[in-house]
Structure 1
Amino acid sequence: MRRLYFVEPIVAIYAFAIFLVFPLVQQYVYRRLWQELTNSSYPVSDNSRCTPTNGSNHSNQHAEVQRAASLFSLYSDLFSSIPSLTVTLVLVSYSDQCGRKITIVLPLVGSLVYILAFLAVSFFELNLYLLIVASFVSSLFGGVGTMLGGCFAYIADMCEDGKQKMMRMAGVDMVIGLLSGVASISTGYFLRAAGFNWPFFTAALFQLANLLYTIFILAESRVVESPAEGVSCGMAMQKLVKGVQQIFVGGSHNRNCLLGLLITIFSVYTFADMGGLSMITLYELNEPLCWSGILIGYGSALSTTVFLTSFAGVSLLSRCLPDVVIVLIGMLSLCSGLVFVAFAKTTLMMFLARIPMMLAVMPFPVMRSMMSKVISKSNQGVLFACVAFLESLSTNIGIAVFSSIYATTVAWYPGFNFLLAASLCIIPMMMLGLVNLFREDDSEETEPLLSGAQNISSDDLPVA
């Protein structure tokens, strides 16, 4: 059978399956906690209005369930973060020796285990906290950071040109947005028509198909030079440490400072982005919005269009603007959108709040490409292992921090989380101004990174 060199279908199916389940996770937990804490059935409505019994007791119930749901998210994240981070760092860096496919296969197995566990809890109405155990077990196989780290390293193997690399990485983000948007719209209707069980079962089937494609159809991008040697765990760790040493201390002072600065900016922005937006579903379920599953699906779908608009933004702006300016525009987009969300009190305002964030994903592919340009081909796996590790770490810490803050502030001002995240965006924006200080005028690698893509012809662009 002829094998293919495309990871985009894997990312697409993975995004569809995850975003078919992800909006349901918080809703399912929220409904179960509502039943347990209030001893009453969850009020289901097809519109965005709260139930007629809008008394103080009803508001107190909402606040209590909101706090419990955010703390549940915190515990789930804490129990899964450490194993996932460790696996991401070791596995993606080790892919320089053993190939990239293992970094994709194992997270797909973990995701399948988690979805099947969720299906079991929902179908048999098992203890809700078994989901935390399932989250921990699935994290032993890695997580989304592991898979995306492997996919980006795979793309780096296949692309020689820096512009092509950036566009293909942006294309991966676009695929995530396109398929996750379709899944998010489907979720609300799926939930109303069939309950929670069928969406979980459907997502499990998609992940199984994804796993089979990866194992039997996807070609390996990195040929293992000495497969017969056998690498022990100790040797793998030694190679990891050596690889990290090479990418951080193997270059000139300016290059090392530039790389460290880019990684710091990337991590802080990820913390503000993922942490700030992690509570948006709970915010929509809370008063005064009180969104239904249908509206949450539409809201999630509208949010995921940011991947499409960000891809278009990277495609157009990279022709006339430096990479640093593109990143700055994306950060300003996120910051303004978060401020808008913090003051949105009606359904229309909440939908309109997505518009300022239409370019918020641009910094991620551009900065990955910027970091990849200053690292040798042989160390791409180690680089993306470190990037995926720090991205997962920033995401997990961000969700944990903002979950606890939301639980504390939801009673007096639910929008505080979004204002805090918007304020944190100022830090990486200020740090971007330092990038040009470490420019190496005599380097062929860092010149394109800072000057943009003005001199790259259209022949260098990848085929969509």
Structure 2
Amino acid sequence: MKRLHYVEPIVAIYAFSSFMIFPLVQQYVYRRLWQDLTNSSYPVSDNSSRCAPTNGSNQTSQHEEVQRAASLFSLYTELFSMIPSLIVTLIVVAYSDQRGRKITIILPLIGSLVYTLSFLAVSFFELNLYLLIVASFVSSLFGGIMTMLGGCFSYIADMCEDGKQKTVRMAGVDMVIGLLSGVASISTGYFLRAAGFNWPFLTSAIFQLVNLLYTIFFLAESRVVENPTAEVSRGMAMKKLLKGIQQIFVGGNRNRNGLLGLLITIFSLYTFADMGGLSMITLYELNEPLCWSEILIGYGSALSTTVFITSFAGVSLLSRCLPDVVVVLIGMLSLSSGLVFVAFAKTTLMMFLFRIPMMLAVMPFPVMRSMMSKVISKSDQGALFACVAFMESLSSNIGLAVFSSVYATTVAWYPGFTFLLAASLCIIPIMMLSLVNLFKEEESRETEPLLSGDRTISPDDAPIA
């Protein structure tokens, strides 16, 4: 049977199945906490975005109490799942340089299936809500979305020879995420209203099972490893793994190493601000004065995912005529302006419109991945994307934990503070971008060109016999 060399279908199905339930997770937790804390049923409204006018002060107090509890629940979930996911991401994606990329995709798909089935069980049998934290911890032992994306980007790096092709195809992965997650998000609200929580969770689990079967039986391995049946001791395998990670930071000249470290730092800081700030959007929409219904939340989530499509178009067009650094700068400015906008959004119209200034906010991610990939040789792509996925996962989890805590503290006096904080933090990576040009100016004085992906192969790079 002929195997395929495309990871885009995997990303597409994963995005659809994940974003089918992603808007539901916070809503489910929010409703369960509302019932537990207020001893009353959750108020279900029509498509209106306004809170019920009755019992104004009492309802406001209830909203604030549930908002704090929901944000702290999110904080605990991230803290329990962060460390296992980080360790698995670093080890598995780096190990793919020796044993192929498919394992980096298969493991997180299994973890995602376990997580979704756990949500289905808690919802169907009305089990203790805090079992979801245990489920999150167990699923993190298989890695997470960053593990899978690290494997997918390593796969693409294996398949692409041209730098521009690599940039566009990596941006295409982000676009696929946006397109399919948008389709899923816009239908989620109607699905929830028509069938409750159980059927969306079950449907998502079915899609994830199909995705897993496609990866196992139809996806070809992109990295053919010599001597795959050779016996390798665990000690030698771990030594090779650590050597590969070390090599990407010390294998080149001082200028190349400095540029790589700078790019990873900028990437991590931007991820922290982006993921941390945007993670509170759903809770903000559930809070007063918006009080969005599940229908409006679905529309909002779908509209947000169009940012991936517009960012892909931006990368495809702007990368033809502008330097990579300028494309990244435009994307960062787009995110910060959108976050400032949402911080002052108090009406449904403004909450929909804040996506307009953010339409290019995803551009920095594929462009910077491509820039880092060009620095490193093909034999070390897995180690590179292991480190990138590790830092992205670390930044995302810390961002979610920090901003959940900040939101719980500030929701009573100014819910929009978290978005202003995230916008302010974008200034740091923006300022650091100027240093990239300094390294590029040094390029002509170095014998090894930067962003070329070429380096001398040392004896330590030889395959394990």
**When the two structures are superposed, what TM-score results if normalisation uses the length of structure 2?**
0.95
- Other-structure match for 1:70: 71
- Other-structure match for 1:239: 240
Contact 1:90 1:237 in 2 (8 A): no
C-alpha RMSD of the superposition: 1.1
Deviations 1:330-360 (A, max 9, x none): 0000000000000000000000011100000
Q: Which amino acid aligns with 1:87?
A: V
- Deviation, 1:178, is 0.1
Deviations 1:145-188 (A, max 9, x none): 00000000000000011100000000000000000000000100
Distance 1:301 1:14, change over 3 A: same
Deviations 1:4-38 (A, max 9, x none): 00000000000000000110000000000000000
- 5+ residue gaps, structure 2, are 454-465
> Aligned equivalents of 2:355 and 2:330: distance in 1?
16
Deviations 1:357-397 (A, max 9, x none): 00000000000000000100100000000000000000000
Deviations 1:232-281 (A, max 9, x none): 44333212221122110110111000000000000000000000000110
Residues 410-425 of structure 1 aligned to structure 2 (within 5 Å): 410-425=411-426
Q: Does 1:254 align with 2:255?
A: yes
Contact 1:17 1:183 in 2 (8 A): yes
- Other-structure match for 1:13: 13
Contact 1:110 1:138 in 2 (8 A): yes
Contact 2:93 2:383 in 1 (8 A): yes
Q: Does 1:96 align with 2:100?
A: no
Contact 2:375 2:452 in 1 (8 A): no
Q: Which amino acid aligns with 1:10?
A: I
Contact 1:88 1:146 in 2 (8 A): yes
Residues 184-203 of structure 1 aligned to structure 2 (within 5 Å): 184-203=185-204
> Aligned equivalents of 2:57 and 2:449: distance in 1?
62
- Other-structure match for 1:408: 409
2:4 is paired with a residue of what secondary structure? coil
Which segment is superposed worse, 224-233 or 331-340?
224-233
- Other-structure match for 2:213: 212
- Other-structure match for 2:39: 39
- Other-structure match for 2:137: 136
Contact 2:375 2:451 in 1 (8 A): no
- Deviation, 1:52, is 2.4
Contact 1:21 1:203 in 2 (8 A): yes
Q: Which amino acid aligns with 2:402?
A: V
Contact 1:191 1:199 in 2 (8 A): yes
1:355 is paired with a residue of what secondary structure? coil
- Deviation, 1:422, is 0.1
Contact 2:118 2:135 in 1 (8 A): yes
1:225 is paired with a residue of what secondary structure? coil
- Other-structure match for 2:301: 300
Count how many residue pairs are aligned between Structure 1 and Structure 2: 449
Deviations 1:175-207 (A, max 9, x none): 000000000001000000000000000000000
Q: Does 1:29 align with 2:33?
A: no
- Other-structure match for 1:331: 332
Contact 1:19 1:180 in 2 (8 A): yes
Distance 1:293 1:233, change over 3 A: farther
> Aligned equivalents of 1:102 and 1:78: distance in 2?
25
- Deviation, 1:438, is 1.1
Distance 1:447 1:217, change over 3 A: closer
- 5+ residue gaps, structure 1, are 450-464
Q: Percent identity?
A: 84
